[in-house]
Amino acid sequence: MSEASAPREVLAPDAPGWLRRELSNPLFRNAYALVANGGLTGLLGLAYWALGAKLYSPDDMGRNWAVIQAIMFVGSVTMLNFLLIRFVPQTARHTRALVLACYAAGAVAAAVLALGFLLTLDLWGESFSHLRNWKMALWFLAMAVAWNLWNQQEGVFTGLRHAGWVPVVNVLFGVAKLALLVALFRAFPDDGVTLSWFVPAMVMLVPVSLFIFGRMLPEHRRRNFGRGARPTHRDIARYAGGAYLGGAFQYASISLIPVVVAAHLSSSTNAYFQMAWALGMMLDLLALTLSMSLTVEGAFDHGRLAESARAALRRTLTLMTPVMVLVAIAAPIGLRFFGHEYAERGGPLLQVLALAVLPKALIELYIGVLRVQNRTRLIAALQAARLAGVLALVPVVVDPDLLATIGLVIVGVNTIVAALVLPGLLNVTRATPSTAPGGRDIP
């Protein structure tokens, strides 16, 4: 939907004109809701990590963060958000069945992959040795499944074009994490960080699921029943293979890489790496927001894909450039608040990771376009190239005394891939509605 044709009744008449135009456009409304989610959860995350750094030693933080990243890898790489974001906007009568199928497949896959990780602990270093205890192993399995379902809920809200609920849910989650981080410090000094992260997600799954299935899905069915062509089982199956690989490679680039790095570092050094990595990944979430919103709006109205892509590209450059510069300048100063050696050891790495934000954002925008066009093989190829390049180089350059070398690999690989996809992205933004690739509904 163009800014000129966007409905004006979304905001009060006395709201500023530019704000009404921005938030009347579902592309920007969804994207800004996800940006708000990143900002609010980022502030809570800063408080969480700062408090954790004060309460727990670098050894405990490093070990807990290694386990958290492993759980996040298992839970994220098996989720099916790409299907939810792509096809929920086009379904009505069968949306509930689609969501349940994604939940079930993701949960089973997460359990299987978690079990595989537990059976290969000898490969992953000292940070994971305590998972040999069967009680901790069961917790690992349960938390991996819960994290899978927790993240798929975000895909449901985004696909329903109600991403405004994402920051609400995640702020409650962030507050609960902070409270538990303190509450569990005395009772579970060794594993309090990990438990404080995932227990709130396990508890909150119940009320959020009741809200989605009891209110949001029935409302979506009423509003969209009979609108436009609907995807068939064959359409979804044809899309799923390449899209799943692309999504799996994408999330592996966020959560598998720190697990690999943890296997090469001591627990205390890993704490300095993980802190910088976690803050850098908050910037990545900002890069993903407009891509996800572009996928939803492109799937909802293929004819406006070029227009939406142009608008998303403008907003990406406007939002991400100053954020990148600010973090690159302020990272060492901000990390001093965490104490120990977080600023000295992790600051240079965070500065370098900030430079990767803009090329990553351009790649994600192009992948958002490819999702709408159902070009899932190209998505998988691009994501595989990014992951393979980083995984091939990171173990070679890991230096406990110079963690920034890891960031240089991230910047280099993503810059090369961004340069390769930029012509394709610009071609889409220049297309007219009649010539835009993927400009028709699925039959």
Q: Which of 37-41, 128-132, 238-242 has the lowest mean pLDDT?
A: 37-41
| Spatial separation of the C-alpha atoms in residues 247 and 29, rounded to whole Å | 24
User: In this predicted structure, what is the pLDDT of residue 116?
Assistant: 94
Does the pLDDT at position 1 exceed 70?
A: no
How confident is the prediction for the chain on average, in pLDDT?
80
| Spatial separation of the C-alpha atoms in residues 34 and 42, rounded to whole Å | 12
Does the pLDDT at position 121 exceed 60?
A: yes
Nearest in space to 190 (alpha carbons), one of 133, 249, 118, 254: 133
Cβ–Cβ under 8 Å, residues 118 and 108:
no
User: In this predicted structure, what is the pLDDT of residue 439?
Assistant: 41
Compute the chain's Rg from CA coordinates: 21
User: In this predicted structure, what is the pLDDT of residue 440?
Assistant: 39
| Spatial separation of the C-alpha atoms in residues 143 and 110, rounded to whole Å | 10
| Spatial separation of the C-alpha atoms in residues 298 and 438, rounded to whole Å | 9
Q: Distance of CA 386 to CAs 23, 251, 368, 375, 395, Å?
A: 33, 11, 16, 17, 15
User: In this predicted structure, what is the pLDDT of residue 20?
Assistant: 56
Q: Which of 92-101, 285-294, 315-324, 327-336 has the lowest mean pLDDT?
A: 285-294
Average pLDDT on 189-200 reads 89
Please indicate whether residue 431 or residue 420 has the higher confidence score (pLDDT).
420
Average pLDDT on 416-426 reads 92
User: In this predicted structure, what is the pLDDT of residue 442?
Assistant: 34
pLDDT digits (tens, 9 = 90+) for 138-189: 999 999 999 999 999 988 988 887 767 877 888 899 899 999 999 988 888 7
User: In this predicted structure, what is the pLDDT of residue 320?
Assistant: 80
Within 10 angstroms of residue 223's Cβ, the number of other Cβ atoms is 11
User: In this predicted structure, what is the pLDDT of residue 140?
Assistant: 94
pLDDT digits (tens, 9 = 90+) for 252-274: 888 888 888 988 888 888 888 98
Amino acid identity of residue 136, one-letter, is M
Does the pLDDT at position 411 exceed 90?
A: yes
The rounded Cα 200 to chain-centroid distance in angstroms is: 19
The b/e string for 406-435 (b: 16+ C-beta within 10 A; e otherwise) is: bbbbbbebbbebbeebeeebeebbebeeee
Q: What is the pTM of this model?
A: 0.71
